Copies of this chain bind each other. A is one copy, B any other.
């Protein structure tokens, strides 16, 4: 028996479900990536993509995962041995820190409890101590996919500015872009890193660097040897809509459709409002169950996912596997330090009220089947909020 009726509920915090419209847009013949049709597509997409970053700066598209875009960001603006300031907000911040170490940077990792975003005060305090300006970059994760905690990027920018420190500001919003409010230019971010498989509702496979003027200047002086990740050859070609090596053609067809849906049809601000509303409905359900959300700061709750902490003695992965088996829904596992203690509910991208309520129903039933002591009424409370605000 391999056919299981109905649609799988993919409620992990990305990859998110790809809308049929995007699947159909990608379901086209591959074209010559050196021909004029591709050049027009490339030029259109590279220009329009700026809208979701809220930027006038160039966006570079890599045929690579988000991890590749992390590495690209670092090797384009820094040099081996450079000191960079990083913050342990969760598993992905930790992995980015590991990557920085591995490629030969000298990262300083400010510890964290995984329940708060980056503290702007701590950023300012550390930069003030750095009177010799040895720190070349401040690196933050905007939306921590492992915890459901966002960092207040605008406030971090203000904290950096208050110190007058010249460090570059680099932000990973791989799981935040096009779901959580993000403003590359207004927040003075020098390099923004993102990916395709979250708010943009595409399959995984392409990722992005958005680079400020200051970042492009730093690129001129970067001491890293690089080829695949080099912004130079990308930007030299991109003006005409072409790429220095084979681009992921059909992903770009999909990206154009996604940008049309997000920017021209639903509207980016409506997308943000929708994500915040679904996140709030989810937290209302979690509270009604009598469980705790991992994030401890009201203004740092992620609109993309909600991480649910289980009472001691209950295995979150057992809950997840019961839900997968009984109700055909995938939830995010606990990563790193919170493995087994939490599960994550993704509510990003192509989702609506009834799918969210189906998902919360699966969580409520699964928690009870797993013997986690919860109160009834989570779905009921979420319905009350969603219908009030419908």
Binding site for B on A (CB under 8 A): 1-7, 9, 17, 21, 27, 260-262, 265-267, 270-271, 274, 326-329, 349-359, 361-362, 364-365, 368-369, 376-377, 379-380, 383, 386-387, 390
Contacts and interface: CB of A to CB of B under 8 A. Distances in A.
B327 A3 contact: no
B390 A365 contact: yes
Given A358-B358, A383-B361, A383-B364, A352 B4 contact: yes
A273 to B, nearest CB: 11
A7 to B, nearest CB: 6
A380 B349 CA distance: 27
Nearest to A359: B354
Contacts of A355: 6-7, 358
Contacts of A376: 380
Contacts of A3: 21, 260-262, 265-266
A255 to B, nearest CB: 15
Interface of A is mostly: helix
Contacts of A270: 1
B350 A379 contact: no
23 contacts: A5-B271, A5-B349, A5-B350, A5-B351, A6-B350, A6-B352, A6-B355, A7-B17, A7-B350, A326-B387, A353-B365, A354-B362, A355-B358, A357-B357, A357-B358, A357-B362, A361-B361, A365-B383, A365-B387, A369-B387, A377-B380, A379-B379, A379-B380
A42 B352 CA distance: 41
A377 to B, nearest CB: 7
A376 to B, nearest CB: 6
A7 B19 CA distance: 8
A258 to B, nearest CB: 10
Given A3-B265, A27-B27, A357-B358, 11 more contacts: A1-B266, A4-B266, A4-B352, A5-B352, A6-B352, A7-B352, A7-B355, A326-B387, A353-B365, A357-B357, A365-B386
A267 B387 contact: no
A368 B387 contact: yes
Nearest to A329: B354
A351 B328 CA distance: 11
Nearest to A326: B390
A386 B357 CA distance: 15
Contacts of A353: 6, 326-328, 361-362, 365
